[in-house]
Structure 1
Amino acid sequence: MIRKATKNDYKAVWEIFSQVIATGDTYVFSPDTAEKDIQKHWFADYMNTFVYEENGKILGTYIIKPNQIDLGNHIANCSYMVHPNAQGKGIGRQLCEHSLKFAKKNNFLAIQFNIVVSTNKSAVELWKKYGFKIIGTTPNGFRHRKLGLVDTYIMFKVL
């Protein structure tokens, strides 16, 4: 089940968030990000936060928000995270499908991912399956914890 997150979900979302960023290989957040920062990174007032729940356990989460303010707010931006122990079970796919429906329902015209790490092959392939196209590359746009500087992609899908 995918549902809107509540303040009661902070701890479970933090568990996912902290484990995903700890590797330093897919998200720009520092692996040293403090738990108190989950509010501004994942639960800010201008975001819609969702969780994927199965048998009472939160296994995934995503945010959707306007990519820009004012005259750029018709394009959405999303970020998705799946608990490391639950990866490979189709949860990311379900989160993506939910976000596409939510974006359309809320009158977004497109979704743009501003920074997809090029070495995150599973994410790049998943987004391509859903019709996202690479519309730009930032050379050395990410400091990968193990590989050093790697390229990042801007990916875009018209809804």
Structure 2
Amino acid sequence: MINSTQIRKATKNDFDSVWEIFKEVIKTADTYVFDPNTPKEDLNKNWFAPYMDTFVAIDENQAVLGTYIIKPNQIDLGNHIANCSYMVNPKYHGKGIGKLLCEHSIKFAKEKGYLAIQFNIVVSTNLAAVALWQKFGFEIIGTTPKGFRHKTLGLVDTYIMYKEV
């Protein structure tokens, strides 16, 4: 783990750094539903929309190591459950950044008044993510058979994961 990592709210000044992570993560087409050819301007609606809170993990030099969003899982009568998405710069995989982002999101969800966090689509073959979320107490509450078009494996199952906060 990188000891000096801090997590703070993202600003528009972080846009390009977040884009670099987003672009690297989605280009593999193995963990996220975003088209690998998603244009940069779509990051505004996918990661910086007004209804979501966006955070970045930064090192002592203010370099962005990872990012996450938290938003209501549904509108109106379903807005008491949060939904989150996390991305870590591939150069920093295995350094504990995802763990820090998850810890922060759980704390933030409580502070914001959410009762739980639900991940609507966790790709079943993303074993590291599934194991990390389970370590934090998320349970698989449902499976969508063949819910994801994996770039190399074809159709694979996805999980719905849930945790009360």
**Over 4 Å off, 4+ runs:** none
What 5-or-longer segments of structure 2 have no aligned partner? 1-5
Q: Which of 87, 96, 103 is the equivalent residue of 1:97?
A: 103
1:43 corresponding residue in structure 2? 48
Q: One-letter code of the match for 1:38?
A: L
RMSD: 0.4
- Aligned with 2:16: secondary structure? helix
Matched, 1:87 2:89: no
Matched, 1:76 2:82: yes
| TM-score under structure 1 length normalisation | 0.99
2:63 corresponding residue in structure 1? 57
- Aligned with 2:144: secondary structure? strand
Q: Which of 22, 25, 28 is the equivalent residue of 1:20?
A: 25
| TM-score under structure 2 length normalisation | 0.96
2:16 corresponding residue in structure 1? 11
Matched, 1:143 2:140: no
What 5-or-longer segments of structure 1 have no aligned partner? none
Matched, 1:155 2:161: yes
Matches within 5 A, 1:106-117: 106-117=112-123
Q: What is the total number of aligned residue pairs between the two structures?
A: 159
2:3 corresponding residue in structure 1? none
Listed one character per residue, the Cα deviations across residues 113-143 of structure 1 (whole Å, up to 9, x for unaligned) are 0000000000000000000000000000000
